[in-house]
Chains A and B, each alone.
Chain A
């Protein structure tokens, strides 16, 4: 027997926690992320092919059918102006998918570099950047929406700018903390010892190990941004008719709650469903993160 036999061996074929294949497999196996994906993937597909899926043009008016209940012609009924609700909800998925996408991308572009600088350089840089973050964190989203609507006017861009202003500081803060924790690791010291230049240390060693908490924050943030979009449009600062979003439909329907409850029920259900999907996904991703932390 050679002494090497004594060394514990990891089962062959186990791929590392970092590889995309492994992540994909983990996402499949976790029931929460699986359910989340089952809900979200069809919604994304609907958003992409929306114009071909709508039974009627979303802004076509059917004069005889104002506030009509669901029928075999109009599956989800019609709205105040006699427009087909199903078609409007299908078109609305583009906002539901597009707003989080834009918000997510922009917050990453702003938040991650700032968090990275603060967390890696520390000291004065950290102090200054984090005070800026604190200031932004103290804005309530409603107030930001109100102010921006006054400057930019109501519309899709207002929704997106509002949410970016509200969410980038969270991304920056989480990035900074994660980067700080990872920077303490010995492999970062080891990288410096073999002479890695700073930029390479930051990208190859720090960011590569620090991104997971950011991913989890992002996924729960996207769920909130769907709700926030609905809220802002509901209040009238967001998407304007005849354009549509689920929040806007909900707002329009709320006036006729007793006369045409379907106008509130269906958009409401749609919002609940997608937020549920997002949250399940985020939750599952968080579980994966915790398990990964333990494995290390």
Chain B
């Protein structure tokens, strides 16, 4: 137990005012004791990251902000004082905070070796010490975060490490000052699901062994509920609900929490089973046999990398086929090859009965039959083209017989179809929210009158509540128009929500293909099982994760 009466971290009435831009954080109060992990959940713009950053003096540069309220770490006030003191608040000879960032590649300097990163981080804490045992201490710091072969890691630059290893390095850096409080801001969002589970296991283990007070910020309610003791739900800069993980999941009080929970799909929820019309009568729209895609390496004589290796795919009308895999599994290469945007090295692609495969980047055979919905709606729309013209361009190309009037009618119809108001024709992408943009992307794809939609991570850049809406929209379109759809994702929840069948890809090959229910309830392949075990699940909330492996 702490000798102090008060918990290690006490935040009282913390407010942040960005001068001239309102209050991203308003009167936030919570407390975290040592050895406890508290999760903060919220969507983008909810102020969750801003809360963390203002506590630790890490507000973005060039932002003129005023931070009010009180943050005490082990009884010492850390808000206020000089900017320099705020950036390295120290309490009782230890750092007040250790900070784990979302994107480890961005948090590390690409020009520094890991060794140099560690040394740089030791300096402000006065931990450089004598040269004699410095190397041993660096190795120990890396061993603490369970990095294999620390000697090699020390000599490496960030780009030579995998995402999970990088995040371990960032955690090691955060722990160097022996912090009282560990602040983790979406620490696993940039990582693959199996790696994310490992990193979270590590954070939990460290939190226990070092008796850290930990704050875990995430957009993912299931993840937070599974890992944390208590959950704080934030919206528009305020705390709307704060309760234990079980209570939040079982009996959410605030309507916003309820809405968030309703939007969160638990892939293991048995009530989600799809009753699919198993007729087998629907025609196959798009199929690929023995499809391979390989990238030649720059270095002469090197073996080309096989991104997709001998893959068979079939999509029928009215069917959503989920393609699940981690980064590097070849799922995006498969999508590009099917969309004709990537040359294939072997195999055949058929569109209906027509053999269309080409070994080069020639898209003339497509005639709009295969359209894509991209991952990031913030970058897949031309910022200088209004919504209406973006859709009109696609109409002009694929339905050239329409005259001006018919074309603007068609634009209105498409906006109706994707659930956007008609007034949006004159809006520009930067005026729209992520979900609205993604609807525009869908409308643009539909304007080409496709038979098959390829959706490449269509929801991973969106907020949870919006994800569900976009998935529902895609499913409705498939059902109403008899389209075929390939849903490429790393997210089992998305697949569970709308897919009929799933294929699991690993290292360019299909390791398992089954109906969604069968795959999730009784996975056959060990890799599928490992993937599913790593998925954060609300139904496992409160249970310690390390017992889950058995």
List chain A positions with a Cβ less than 8 A from chain B: 1, 3-4, 6-10, 14-19, 185-187, 189-197, 200, 204-205, 208-209, 295-296
Contact = CB atoms under 8 A, between A and B. Distances in A.
B339 to A, nearest CB: 6
Interface string B358-391: 0000010011100110111001111111100000
B524 interface: no
28 contacts: A4-B435, A4-B469, A6-B259, A7-B435, A7-B463, A8-B45, A10-B430, A10-B432, A16-B384, A16-B430, A17-B383, A18-B428, A19-B428, A186-B374, A186-B376, A186-B380, A189-B341, A189-B380, A190-B444, A191-B382, A194-B371, A194-B393, A194-B445, A194-B448, A195-B397, A196-B393, A197-B397, A205-B385
Contact of A295 (B256, B430, B444): B430
Contacts of B381: 187, 190
B43 interface: yes
Contacts of B45: 8
Contact of A14 (B374, B380, B431): B431
B125 to A, nearest CB: 32
A195 B433 contact: no
Nearest to B42: A6
B230 to A, nearest CB: 23
B466 interface: yes
B263 interface: yes
A7 B433 contact: yes
A187 B382 contact: yes
B223 to A, nearest CB: 19
B177 interface: no
A6 B465 contact: yes
Give the residue among A3, A17, A204, A295 with the most B Cβ atoms within 10 A.
Answer: A3
Contact of B384 (A18, A192, A197): A18
Nearest to B430: A16
Nearest to A12: B431
Contacts of B394: 194-195
A1 B447 CA distance: 32
Contacts of A186: 374-376, 379-380
Interface size, B (range):
35 or more
Given A3-B259, A295-B430, A190 B372 contact: yes
Most A C-beta atoms less than 10 A away, residue of B235, B431, B463, B466: B431
Given A1-B255, A18-B384, A185 B379 contact: yes
B28 interface: no
Nearest to A185: B379
Interface string B468-512: 110000000000000000000000000000000000000000000
Nearest to A184: B379
Contacts of B468: 3
A3 B465 contact: yes
Nearest to A207: B384
B433 A208 contact: no
A187 B363 CA distance: 17
Contacts of B397: 194-197
Contacts of A195: 363, 366-368, 394, 397-398, 448
Nearest to B44: A8
Given A186-B376, A187-B380, A195-B366, 18 more contacts: A1-B259, A4-B435, A6-B256, A7-B436, A9-B433, A10-B430, A186-B375, A186-B379, A189-B374, A190-B441, A194-B393, A194-B445, A195-B367, A200-B393, A204-B385, A205-B385, A208-B385, A209-B383
Nearest to A209: B384
Nearest to B468: A3
A16 B428 contact: yes
A21 to B, nearest CB: 12
B366 A3 contact: no
B131 to A, nearest CB: 43
B126 to A, nearest CB: 36
Contacts of B235: 6
Contacts of A189: 341, 374, 380
Given A18-B384, A193-B371, A3 B393 contact: no
Contacts of B386: 16
